[in-house]
Amino acid sequence: MLTGLSIRDVVLIEALDLSFSDGLGALTGETGAGKSILLDALGLALGVRADSGLVRQGAERAVVSATFDLPASHPVGLLLTESGLDAEPGEPLIVRRIVKADGGSRASVNDQPVSAALLREIGGLLVEIHGQHDDRGLLNAKGHRALLDSFGDIDLDGLARAWDAWRAAEDQLAEARAEVEEAERDRDFLDHAVKELRSLAPEAGEEDTLAEARAKMQKGDRIADDLTEIAELLDGSDGGLAKLRQAARRADRIAGEHEVLGEALAALDRALIEADLAEEKLAEASHILAFDPARLDEAETRLFDIRALARKHRVDPDALPALTEEMAAKLERIEAGGAHLAALEADVAAKRAAYVVKADAVSKKRTAAAKALDKAVAGELAPLKLDAAKFHTAVETLDDAQWTASGQDRVAFEISTNPGAPFGPLAKIASGGELSRFILALKVALAEQGGAATMIFDEIDRGVGGAVASAIGERLSRLAQGAQLLVVTHSPQVAARAGHQWQIAKSSDGLVTRTGVQRLDDGERREEIARMLSGAEITEEARAQADRLLEGV
């Protein structure tokens, strides 16, 4: 709900601060007083195209701020979150627009800068302005299907699920077809590659194992001669160990002759122990590093084959087993491709049929809802001086390519304003005054919920009076129940229906002309409605008639 509007330096408005309430509010005033300026200023705050011509003469810039109180569930909250803007639930929402006299503008929401495009999107969720040049809301055919579904209480959840299932099956079929076609193109290559891979049969981790074994065997090859020479130096009757043992035996015979000889014998014994250990370790090393040249050649050949195959397929050697299975699976799918595709095609056909069944059911409900809506709107036209007009909700079946999760129908609200005239879009057929009244009739018939927080009707009563104006006022009052609706009006019958009334007036001090807005109390409302009834000179009869209008609501 719009709760406040602050305007600075817009055309004839120097400074203006207004507060608003829910229900029906009327903006009245003499022709030329500046009612359109007020709407233009509000439009700026809601994101309409900025025009430096709106800046008051002599001012550097125009500033308009609009304050809204919105429920936590209002869609503006989600839009702000998705746009990365801070919005505290329960706190007022303030939209502001600054237009410079030399061109350019800035926009903000809760003091956070936003683009004009985002401000327009936010403004469209906050306020609906219905007038002669309105091309949004009910005039936008893109929203007519959703409005009809809401009117007919048509549930689209089942249809949407059927659509999603059908599209998922279509995607799966398309993917399978592309895969089979690609595999067919590569059939010869796949066949050769699988045979080559299976012939080599590489295993995960085998490259590391082979590389490690090859390195050990190569090391053994390098030191084999040294090990043999060392063994020859140690072993045999003339080897180092034999001579050391001989020396130990001779030392043993003379060790008792002197204690130093005993120490020498002990040292020889220790040397023999270490030499035996060395001989044991050398034998162990010879065994560990022993290699068969044939085995080395075999290991190298397999290692190089595995690496070459990995390079050929541009994968890591450890990925070759998985690649073998993947390629083999592709070959199998080629063989079973026809049957697999046939099964998928059957699944697509079944899911399409399920969607069509649900879509047909929705179409029937839409057709029935369209008839009910046509009847409801028709009942509103005559009291609004549109008795020669006809309203028609067109429900047209679309081509398959245009079907969506919402069904297979295009819905459009159409009118014919004269007997025998063809039906056409609202905005193209109706004149300014007719258009506003058609919108009002539709609003009342639809009993639309969940629209913008505030609705504004601009001179909906243009060119009518008496009973028609009274009918307009009654419908506006009904539509404003539990909501906020503002109407710019010249009709006393409409103004009398309002719960709140503001008078827009122009004043001049001889040098500067200004537009002001005053909220009227009960007595002031009586005088303003009397002026609307009688013109420049307010008569007692006009005041009496004003009293009757105010008492009759």
Average pLDDT in the 141-168 region? 91
pLDDT band at 418 (very low <50, low <70, confident <90, very high): confident
Encoded tokens for 157: 């959840």
pLDDT digits (tens, 9 = 90+) for 262-321: 888 888 888 888 888 887 887 777 666 666 677 778 888 888 888 888 898 889 988 899
Number of helices (H), then strands (E), belonging to the chain: the values are: 17, 15
Per the structure block, which two tokens stand in for 485? 């609706």
pLDDT at 220 (0 to 100): 67
pLDDT at 346 over 90: yes
The proportion of the chain whose per-residue pLDDT surpasses 90, expressed as a percent, equals 26
* Whole-prediction pTM: 0.62
DSSP code for 55: B
Residue type, 431: S
| Residue 98 in tokens | 């600054």
From CA 222, how far away is CA 215, in angstroms rounded?
A: 11
DSSP string for 245-265: HHHHHHHHHHGGG-HHHHHHH
Three-state DSSP at 4 gives strand
Mean pLDDT, residues 323-329 taken together: 88
Helices (H), 255-319: 259-288, 293-313
pLDDT digits (tens, 9 = 90+) for 97-127: 999 998 889 999 988 999 989 999 888 888 8
> Quick one: 481 exposed, middle or buried, by C-beta within 10 A (0-12, 13-18, 19+)?
exposed
How high is the pLDDT of residue 337? Answer: 67
Which of the residue ranges 134-138, 159-163, 180-184, 230-234 would you say has the lowest mean pLDDT?
Answer: 134-138
Residue range 36-87, pLDDT digits in tens = 888 888 989 998 888 888 898 889 999 999 999 988 878 888 888 888 887 7
Encoded tokens for 162: 């059927």
Across the range 2-14, mean pLDDT stands at: 91
